[in-house]
A and B are shown apart, each in its own frame.
Chain A
Amino acid sequence: MAVIEAKGLQRRYGGAGGVLALAGADLTVEAGQFVALVGTSGSGKSTLLQLLGCLDRPDGGELLIDGLEVSKLTDEQLAHVRNRRIGFVFQSFHLLPRLRADQNVALPLRYGGVPEKKRLERARELLGKVGLADRIHHLPSELSGGQSQRVAVARALAADPPLLLADEPTGNLDSRSGKDILALFQELHAEGRTIVMVTHDPTVAAIADRRIHMEDGHIVRES
C-alpha cells in the first residue's frame, strides 16, 4: 500500500507572478520504503518535503497521505494529520527549550489528547529506544547535538505515525553523531517504517532504497 501518492504537486511562492518552487511533482512511496530526496539548494526538495509533511499546502495537484486526500483539508484537520500520521525530524532539532527531554517527546501525544502520565511513560520508553534512557529529565540545553536529534527522532515516533519525514537530519551534527543518527534511521527502516529524507550528502543518500533527484522544481530522475 502506498503511504504517499502525489500527482502534479505544485507550490508557488509570492503570488501569481512568483517563483514556482515545485513545478508538478509525481511521487509514490510504498509502505516500508526509505526514500532520499537529493538535489542542490533551491531544487525544490525541501518544498516537496514540507508538502508531504502537511506543513504547507500545494497550489496545485493531488496528495494522498496514508490514503487520505490532504490538499483540501482545513487547518484543523491538517493539524490532526500532522499529529497522527506524520513524524517530522528537522535539521536543527527544534526541541522546546523549556521542556525536559521526556516532555518534548510527549508533545505530539499532548495534542493527541493522551493523558500526561501515559504519554510520559511512552516518552520514556521511546527515549530508551533511541539510547537516552539516562537523559529523560534533561533540558535540551543540557544535551549534545546528537542527543538532541535523537530526542527529536523519539518525538517523531511518539504517535507511532505511518510516515517519518526528515529534513537534513545530520546537517547540524558532527560526522560521528551524524553516523549515529543515520544508524538510528536504518534501524527504524529495518523495523519497516516508511522514511522520506531530504539530504545533499551522497553518503547519506546511499543508505536509502530509492534516491529521487530534483532540479529546478522538477523530479528529474530516480536511482
Chain B
Amino acid sequence: MKDLFKEAVRSLAAHSVRTILSGLGILFGVAAVIGILSIGEGARREQEALIAQLGILNVQIKSAELPEDKEERQEILRRTSGLSSRDIRDLRALLPDLVSAGGLRELEPNTVFPRPKDKKGLRYLGVEPGHLAASPFSMVSGRPLRQVDEERRARVVLLGEGAARRLFGRELAIGKWLRLNNTWLKVVGIVRTGMGGRTELDGISIEDRSGDVMLPLSTSLMVQPTELGKADLDEIQLQFAQTEEIPAKVTVIARFLERRHREQPVYELVVPLSLIAQSEAQQAIFNLVMGLIAGISLLVGGIGIMNIMLASVMERTKEIAIRLAVGASPKDIHRLFVMEACLISLLGGVLGIFAGFVVSWVVAMFTGWATSVSLQAVALATVVSTLEGLFFGYLPARRAAQLQPAMAVRI
C-alpha cells in the first residue's frame, strides 16, 4: 500500500500541471457541494435564531413610517389614526382562539434617572402583558408585568439585561427606582432576550431587545401622553396556538386591518412563518442551481480524469510492460492506476474544500446569508471525490491491467 502510494505520487508528480488540471473539475464540483451545504447549514441556523427571536407562532402588526410630505400625511391621518387598542379588542373578538394579544408603544422620555452610561440600544416601551407573553423572553430574576399592573397603572418596570447593566451598573437592579420624566418606577424584574447582539438575520431586521425598558402600557401614558398625529400603538403582537392555522388567520387579519384603516399604509404585517417560507424558497432555488453546477462539475471532472488516465495508459505502455515483465501482476497494475485516479480526484477534492470555504465566504459577503462549513460537509466531499476516483479510474486501470508483458520485448 505504501509502495503503491509512493509510486502513484511519483508518476503524478512527474506531470504535476496535468495532474492539477485534471483535478479541476472535481475541484469545482466539491467547492459547489461545500457551498451548498454551508449555505444550507447557515440558513438553518438563521431560521432557528429567527424563530427564537420573533416566535414562529407570532404575528406582528407594526406601525409604518408615515410619508414625509405633509399633505400626504394629513390625507392619511384624516382617514385613520393608526394602530390602537381598539384594533386589539376587535381582533380578539374576530379570532377567539388567539393565545395572546397585546400592544406596545415606544416612549421618548426627556429625562431618565439614573442617567444611563450609554444611551445606544436603550428603548423605553409601554407594553401590555399580552404582548410580553408572546415575546421570547426568559426571566432572570423578579417577576414579569401582570394584568393588575396594567389595570392599576402600577409604577413598575421590567428591564432587559443590557438595560439593567447600563442603568444600574453591577448593582442589583431589582427593587431600585427609575425615573422617567416625572414618574418614579420600581424595578420588579430582569429578562434575558432570545439571542445576543445580532440585529439582522437573512435581511430581516430584528431589534436587539436586551436594552428594553418595559413598563405597563397604561403607566406609559402617564409618563408620556401620545403625541398628536401619532398612533396609539407602535406594534401589536398576536400569538397563535399552532403554525397550521396561521396562513388562514393572516388573511383574515389582513382584511380586517385593511377595512379598519381604510386601506391606508399605516401598518405592516410581519409573519415570521412566511418569512421563513420565503427564505426557504430562495434557498431551494440557490440549492438547485448550485446542485446542478456541482453535479455537472463532478461528472465532467470524473470524465476528465478518466480521459487523462486513458491517455496516460497509452503513453505508459512501456512502463506497464516492464513492470509486468519483472513480475507485477495485472492486479498490481490495476491498483496503481486506480490509486493515481483517486489521488488526482482527492487532490481536486481537497482544493475544492478550500475553494468551498472561499465560495461560502463570498456568498456570505454578497448576500448577507449566514454560512457555516460543517465537518460533515468536508467529510462528504472527501468521500465523494475518493469514490469518483475509484469509479472513473476503473476503466483506464482495467485497460492498463489487460496489457501483455510481451509488449516489453517489441518496444
Contact = CB atoms under 8 A, between A and B. Distances in A.
Interface of A: 46, 49-50, 53-56, 75-76, 79-80, 82-84, 88, 90, 92, 94-96, 98, 107-108, 110-112, 116, 155, 159, 167
Contacts, number: 73
Given A88-B325, A96-B319, A76 B409 contact: no
The binding surface of chain B is classed by DSSP as helix
A79 B324 contact: yes
Given A76-B331, A79-B324, A94 B318 contact: yes
Contacts of B406: 50, 55-56
A55 B410 CA distance: 11
Given A55-B406, A55-B408, A82-B405, A94 B325 contact: yes
A91 B123 CA distance: 93
Given A95-B322, A116-B2, 6 more contacts: A56-B404, A76-B331, A82-B324, A83-B327, A92-B411, A94-B322
B326 interface: yes
Contacts of A116: 2-3
Contacts of A108: 326-327
A80 to B, nearest CB: 7
B329 A111 contact: yes
A79 B408 contact: no
Contact of A50 (B10, B326, B331, B409): B409
B90 interface: no
Nearest to B332: A111
Contacts of A56: 404-406
Contact of B325 (A55, A92, A159): A55
Contacts of A54: 405
Interface in B315-347: 318-319, 322-332
A107 B326 contact: yes
B42 to A, nearest CB: 46
B326 A88 contact: yes
A82 B325 contact: yes
A111 B333 CA distance: 10
A83 B409 contact: no
Contacts of A55: 324-325, 404-406, 408-409
24 contacts: A53-B325, A55-B404, A55-B405, A56-B404, A76-B329, A82-B325, A82-B326, A82-B327, A82-B405, A83-B326, A83-B327, A83-B328, A90-B325, A90-B409, A94-B318, A96-B319, A96-B322, A98-B11, A107-B323, A108-B326, A110-B3, A111-B323, A111-B329, A155-B326
A90 B14 CA distance: 25
B409 A79 contact: no
B408 A94 contact: yes
Closest 7 CB pairs of A and B: A83-B327, A79-B329, A56-B406, A55-B405, A108-B326, A111-B327, A55-B406
